[in-house]
Structures are given as structure tokens and as C-alpha cells.
Amino acid sequence: MQKYTGKLAVLYQGQGDSLPFQRLAEKLNVPLYQVINDDCPESFFLTWRDGSLKLLDKELLKKGGLVVDIEPRNGEQRSWPAPKQGPLAQALGRKTRTVIDATTGWGQDSLHIFRMGYELLCIERSPVMAELLFDGFRRLAEQDWMQSLNLQPPRLINGNAIELFTALAFQPDCIYLDPMFPPKRKKSALAKKSMVVLRDLLGDDQDKEELFAAAVKAAGKRVVVKSPDYAEPLGGKPNESYQGKLIRYDVYFKD
């Protein structure tokens, strides 16, 4: 697994057992701090708070931090399986059963896809985001409704999807891509804090075209690309396109 170095450290502030913090810092090959001061060169910190692994920047140190949210978003139903409705479900397709989310990020689209009853495999190449996702899926597995229905959370692999596509044990009906596009404006008051932090931490996806080409080869029936509405279609003119609020789902069928 690729080790992350650079902008990140693990923060242990004396609450609970320090061993998980030490192991996480060693796994990611980053420093472990007990106190953050102005001399710390890192901008981002992983720490456990309130039973969750959280990502903080220096603005969030005294606040709650960012966490993989396992609760449905506004407008999403809590039932399982939730109805396959809305532009995302339309893009994925009625006959689709198996989906790979190759750019899982904060996992919000993955969790929506999972709640709609699709068989889902998640891929995330950032070791930092993978740790946050593993923690989120762990909390999801502990939910009463998950246990009463005997459900398992989505499977998650930390790695580069372009490489992993060549060694898949199955051919998914659909591969879902949500790469990071450059923002329309350098600064946007509308940008969510989670996306601002993610972009600052990881940068834009510079290999979007290569990822799309690999997905087309690996998918069984279709590739779905989520894009901001101002962006050009990643794979040229799509076969279908479904419009959401400020976003677009472009669908490319396999021949």
C-alpha cells in the first residue's frame, strides 16, 4: 500500500488508549503529536473523537472535525433497499446489479448506492481517505438496522483503480467514477468544507482520462461519470446524461 507523507500527522490528546494512534501513524508513515503548535509543518490531522476517526485541519482543531457520515443525506430514504429513484439511480440503470465505485472519496455516493441495494465494491487510492472509510464502514456495520437485516457494509480496497481493474475477480455491470475536477473558481463560498479539505490534502485527479479508459475496458455494461455541470464530458459525448443539482451523470454504454 502506498504510504502517505507530507501534509498529515496523527493527533493523540490523551483520551483513551494511545496504541491505535501509534499504529495509525506507523501505518501511514506520518508523525504522531500530542500537542499542535504554530511550529507544526503539517496542515491536517487524523484523530479519534466521539467514537469516530476524524480529519481536521488547523481551523477545525477545536471543532468536531470531518468524518465519513453514515447517515442518509437529505432526500435519501432510510429504508433498505431504498427505491432506485433520482438521477444517480437512473444513470446506474435498472438492470444493473454489481457496481464498483472507483473513486470513493468521502463515501456519500457509495453509501447511497449501497442503500439502494446494489452489490458494491469501493476503491479508494488515498491511504488517508481509506482509513476514514474503513472507520465509517465499521460504524455502519454496528448499526441496528444493518445487524437486524444481517447486512455487511461495502467491501473497500485501498489502491489505484487503474491497476486494480486489471486483476478483478469479476466483471461489474457498472463502474462509477467521481473524479475531482478543478474548481470553476479559485475560491468558492459554496464549496463544502469536506471537499475543500480533500482537495487541499490530495489535489485534483490528474489521470482522469486514463482512469476512464481503464474503466471502459473493465466494465461489463456501462461506465457512469459524475461531473460538475460546467465540466466537459470526460469520455466525449455520452450515450445518456442525467442532470442533478449542479452536477451531471454521464453514461457510457459498452458496445
pLDDT value, residue 189:
45
State the cell numbers at 49. 473523537
d(CA 178, CA 161): 12
Kindly report the length of the chain: 255
pLDDT value, residue 200:
74
- Pairing verdict, β 240-243 and 247-253: antiparallel
pLDDT value, residue 203:
67
Q: What is the pLDDT of residues 172-195, one digit of tens each?
A: 999 999 988 777 655 544 457 777
The pLDDT of residue 206 is above 50: yes
pLDDT value, residue 118:
97
Q: Coil, strand, or helix at residue 29?
A: coil
In which band, very low, low, confident or very high, does the pLDDT at 2 lie, cut at 50, 70 and 90? low
Locate all alpha helices (DSSP H) within 169-236, ordered by sequence.
193-202, 208-218
CA-only gyration radius of the chain, Å: 19
In this structure, are residues 45 and 61 in contact, taking their beta carbons and an 8 Å threshold? yes
Please give the average per-residue pLDDT across 97-107, as a whole number: 96
Closest CA to 101 of 232, 226, 250: 226
d(CA 161, CA 164): 5
Q: Which helix (H) or strand (E) holds 47?
A: strand 44-49
Q: Coil, strand, or helix at residue 247?
A: strand
Threshold 0.75, pTM exceeds? yes
Q: What is the pLDDT of residues 117-168, one digit of tens each?
A: 999 999 999 999 999 999 999 999 999 999 999 999 999 999 999 999 999 9
The pLDDT of residue 196 is above 90: no
State the cell numbers at 131. 482509513
Q: Which amino acid is at 158?
A: N
At the topology level, CATH places domain 86-253 in: Rossmann fold (3.40.50)
